[in-house]
Amino acid sequence: MRTATTPNALYEAEVGGCWVTGPSAGRPKATVHFLGGAFAGASPQLIYPLLLQTLAKAGYTVISTPYAVTFKHLDCARNVHDKFNGCVEALRGSGQGFLVPEEKAVHGVGHSNGALLHALIGAMFAPPNSSNALISFNNKQVKDAIPLSLGPIQAAVANVRSQPWAAGVPSADSLITSAVGALSQSGLMLDERALRSIAPAIDQLNSVFNEVGDGNVEFIPTPAESRALVQSAYRVPYTLLVQFENDAIDETPEMTRILSSANPAGTSSVILPGTHITPCGGDVAWQVGRSFSPVDAVALGVKAVVQADIRRLGDKLIGWLESHS
């Protein structure tokens, strides 16, 4: 277990391979299972810190389950579901069950590919979450999700595998260790902990390319099969779907139609200002120099807009959780 101390006095720890963010005092109102988007989902505590902390400050224990991008969505949904339950069991078995009270509700919150995974989990497992919040739902075909031709990728992977050194391709973690060691000898000190925390996001590129090299050219199940599964078997009683005004790859309207056809009373949707990456980001400090420059003005302006959008999303999610916990 790895713990961290934050200025806002939140409880933050790595438990059972998940990142737990919760109120440091008092019993939480409910548990939130958070899943980030593709690639971003490998290190959710780094990509979504402000959103996770906003929910925790409101009194919720947020368990963020990291995962690697894969073409096999059902396997991924099963893995993150099992990993989340393992984290809950680990907390209760280590005397920290106050963070995840058995009598409190469990809510799913997913962004982009994480929203798809929560939709699949809601169709695959019982008992279901008390509610789901699906943000920027996305379930495109491979050719639309990956803007590259798969043929050349398959050929490149085959070429790499044919090389005698292929079995010894280093991991991101080993590359970071080598880089930090070499640069430190030159007098340049890097934040090794910060670099190592992004290793999962780097390593998943290898797994994606390997899957393409193995002949995978479409998601399993296909987008059409995923929609059919959700339409026929989704059990979550209440679902909020969040769409952003400027999001070209969002497919929220289609999922809203599917869920509303089976459960109109339990399905809600909302459109908020922002883009597909609005949920990402943190409360980053910007140090103004001796004189206030145009760069400072632009940086602070962008920071204010981005954080305002994240906090607006957080407020909407908190209102939803309050009404269904």
Q: Which of 319, 306, 300, 322 is nearest to 244 (CA)?
A: 306
| 36 within a domain of the structure (yes/no) | yes
**Average pLDDT rounded to a whole number, residues 106-129:** 97
Q: Per mean pLDDT, which of 3-7, 89-93, 143-147, 284-288 is the most reliable?
A: 89-93
Instruction: Please indicate, yes or no, whether residues 103 and 118 belong to a single structural domain of this protein.
Output: yes
8 Å CB contact between 104 and 29: yes
pLDDT of residue 68: 84
Last residue of a domain, one of 213, 230, 255: 213
Token pair listed for 101? 């009270």
Confidence of residue 111 (pLDDT cuts 50, 70, 90): very high
pLDDT of residue 161: 41
| 251 within a domain of the structure (yes/no) | yes
Instruction: Please indicate, yes or no, whether residues 106 and 189 belong to a single structural domain of this protein.
Output: no
**Average pLDDT rounded to a whole number, residues 282-297:** 43
| 200 within a domain of the structure (yes/no) | yes
Query: Which residues are within 8 A (CB) of 199 and not within 5 positions of it... i.e. 6 or more apart?
Result: 171, 172, 173, 176
Helix, strand, coil tally for the chain in percent (to 5): 50, 15, 35
| 86 within a domain of the structure (yes/no) | yes
Instruction: Please indicate, yes or no, whether residues 133 and 155 belong to a single structural domain of this protein.
Output: no
pLDDT of residue 91: 96
Query: Which residues are within 8 A (CB) of 159 and not within 5 positions of it... i.e. 6 or more apart?
Result: none
**Average pLDDT rounded to a whole number, residues 200-207:** 56
Instruction: Please indicate, yes or no, whether residues 232 and 104 belong to a single structural domain of this protein.
Output: yes
Instruction: Please indicate, yes or no, whether residues 136 and 115 belong to a single structural domain of this protein.
Output: yes
pLDDT of residue 307: 84
Do the strands 30-35 and 106-111 form a parallel or antiparallel pair, or are they unpaired? parallel
| 191 within a domain of the structure (yes/no) | yes
Least confident of 111-115, 157-161, 223-227, 309-313: 157-161
Instruction: Please indicate, yes or no, whether residues 66 and 29 belong to a single structural domain of this protein.
Output: yes
- Measured CA to CA, the distance from residue 61 to residue 21 in angstroms comes to 6
Instruction: Please indicate, yes or no, whether residues 155 and 135 belong to a single structural domain of this protein.
Output: no
Confidence of residue 24 (pLDDT cuts 50, 70, 90): confident
pLDDT of residue 218: 73
Instruction: Please indicate, yes or no, whether residues 131 and 22 belong to a single structural domain of this protein.
Output: yes
CA-to-CA separations, 58 to 74, 128, 131, 281, in angstroms, rounded: 32, 23, 17, 18
Dump pLDDT digits (tens) for 152-184: 433 443 444 444 434 444 554 554 455 445 545
Residues 235, 236, 241, 247: is their CA dihedral positive or negative?
A: negative
281's torsion region: left (phi>0), alpha (psi -120 to 50) or beta?
left
Q: Per mean pLDDT, which of 26-30, 198-202, 254-258 is the most reliable?
A: 254-258
Q: What's the domain count of the chain?
A: 2
- Measured CA to CA, the distance from residue 37 to residue 46 in angstroms comes to 13
The angle at the Cα of 274, spanning 271 to 208, to the nearest 5 degrees, equals 105
Last residue of a domain, one of 194, 213, 232: 213
Instruction: Please indicate, yes or no, whether residues 133 and 159 belong to a single structural domain of this protein.
Output: no
Instruction: Please indicate, yes or no, whether residues 163 and 189 belong to a single structural domain of this protein.
Output: yes
Q: What is the CATH number of the domain that holds 231?
A: 3.40.50.1820
Instruction: Please indicate, yes or no, whether residues 133 and 170 belong to a single structural domain of this protein.
Output: no
pLDDT of residue 9: 79
Instruction: Please indicate, yes or no, whether residues 125 and 14 belong to a single structural domain of this protein.
Output: yes
Range of the domain at 226: 2-141+218-280+312-324
pLDDT higher than threshold 90 for residue 107: yes
pLDDT of residue 212: 44
pTM, two decimals, is: 0.77
| 261 within a domain of the structure (yes/no) | yes
pLDDT of residue 141: 63
- Measured CA to CA, the distance from residue 261 to residue 255 in angstroms comes to 10
Last residue of a domain, one of 162, 181, 213: 213
| 69 within a domain of the structure (yes/no) | yes
| 72 within a domain of the structure (yes/no) | yes
Q: Per mean pLDDT, which of 138-142, 227-231, 290-294 is the most reliable?
A: 227-231
Dump pLDDT digits (tens) for 210-231: 544 444 557 789 999 999 999 9
Dump pLDDT digits (tens) for 264-276: 999 999 999 999 9
